[in-house]
């Protein structure tokens, strides 16, 4: 796995149902923006809110896009091993390139627990598995645990690290183990690219601003010829992340998706007045920067 993938939101109707039509429109849009593919049902897709039936609906839409040479990754996170395996088998049935396996959410677990359950899940799945490090929402994978799992399980092919730390990617790079090193936190994309410790990224920002993130990757590939442009684009990215950080994940992305014509955002909670102001602020930020952001 190399290159840039968009971590997509899961559009919902105002009554909370997965909006397959809106998801299809979003994926069609992303297909023309330089992405290798996209990831569904991850943290950006609010996987803790998604039922098995809703995950299946999202995988079905994603599978339609893969028929057009657009790859998809499927998040299989849950609170239990059995449900994770069921999600993994669903994803494989719909042709996912790989599944994203986070630690079980809500309760805290030891690193031994994580190693045992990931080995059990990987053994019962046929396709490639990417570990999915989400310490903001579940027990994080220690760098040493990641290394042990990559070395012990043939179908655990690497990690999407959304922690905001590059320690694990640096360890895998330093040791030279064969593993896909995917940065999953937009705030460290610049550092990961400069340090050369990632093979690609799965970006939540790319779900709504694919033009910006694609240009960051393109300018980095240009090397010394485009250093100023790389730094300028990363500064814009950090400005957007500062706006996102004022809202819960992924409310800010949903707000910007609305500004770009992908439906009215549906939130899992009643928005407090301060949150409504935050949504408005993000949409106003986009209006100010629209011309700069939408250049391909």
In a domain, 74, yes or no: yes
In a domain, 279, yes or no: no
| pLDDT digits 0-9 by tens, 167-177 | 999 999 999 89
| pLDDT digits 0-9 by tens, 126-160 | 999 999 999 999 999 999 999 999 999 999 999 99
CATH value at residue 173: 3.20.20.70
Residue 224 pLDDT: 64
Which H or E run includes 160? strand 156-161
In a domain, 113, yes or no: yes
In a domain, 264, yes or no: no
In a domain, 268, yes or no: no
Report the pLDDT averaged over residues 20-29.
92
CA distance 98 to 130: 7
In a domain, 221, yes or no: yes
In a domain, 281, yes or no: no
Q: How confident is the model at residue 61 (pLDDT cuts 50, 70, 90)?
A: very high
The pTM of this model reads 0.95
SS3 content of the chain, % helix, strand, coil (to 5): 50, 15, 35
Concatenating the DSSP letter of every residue in 45-86 gives: TTGGG--HHHHHHHHHHHHHHHTTT-EEEEE---SSHHHHHH
To the nearest 10°, the Cα dihedral for 164, 12, 208, 201?
Answer: 40
Distance of CA 287 to the CA centre of its chain: 25
In a domain, 295, yes or no: no
Query: Which residues form the domain of 80?
Result: 3-229
Q: How many domains does the chain have?
A: 1
């Amino acid at each position: 796995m190399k290159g840039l993938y968009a971590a997509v939101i899961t559009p919902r109707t105002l009554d909370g149902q997965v909006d397959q039509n809106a998801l299809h429109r979003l994926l069609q849009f992303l297909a023309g923006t330089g992405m290798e593919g996209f990831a569904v049902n991850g943290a950006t897709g609010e996987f803790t809110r998604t039922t098995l039936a809703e995950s299946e609906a999202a995988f079905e839409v994603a599978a339609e896009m893969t028929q057009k040479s657009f790859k998809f990754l499927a998040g299989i996170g849950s609170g239990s091993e059995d449900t994770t395996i069921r999600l993994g088998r669903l994803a494989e049935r719909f042709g996912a390139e790989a599944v994203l396996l986070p630690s079980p959410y809500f309760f805290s677990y030891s690193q031994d627990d994580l190693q045992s359950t990931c080995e059990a899940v990987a053994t019962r799945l046929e396709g490639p598995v990417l570990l999915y490090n989400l310490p903001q929402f579940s027990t994080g994978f220690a760098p040493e645990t990641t290394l042990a799992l990559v070395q012990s399980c043939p179908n655990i092919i690497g990690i999407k690290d959304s922690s905001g730390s590059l320690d694990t990617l640096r360890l895998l790079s330093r040791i030279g183990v064969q593993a896909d090193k995917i940065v999953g936190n937009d705030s460290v994309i610049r550092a990961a690219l400069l340090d050369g410790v990632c093979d690609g990224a799965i970006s939540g920002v790319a779900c709504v601003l694919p033009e910006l993130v694609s240009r960051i990757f393109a300018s980095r590939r240009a090397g010394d010829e485009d250093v100023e442009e790389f730094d300028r684009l990363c500064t814009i990215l950090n400005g957007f992340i500062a706006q996102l950080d004022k809202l819960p994940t992924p409310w800010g992305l949903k707000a910007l998706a609305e500004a770009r014509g992908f439906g009215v955002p549906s939130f899992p909670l009643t928005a407090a007045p301060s949150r409504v102001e935050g949504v408005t602020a993000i949409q106003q930020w986009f209006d100010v920067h629209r011309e700069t952001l939408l250049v391909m």
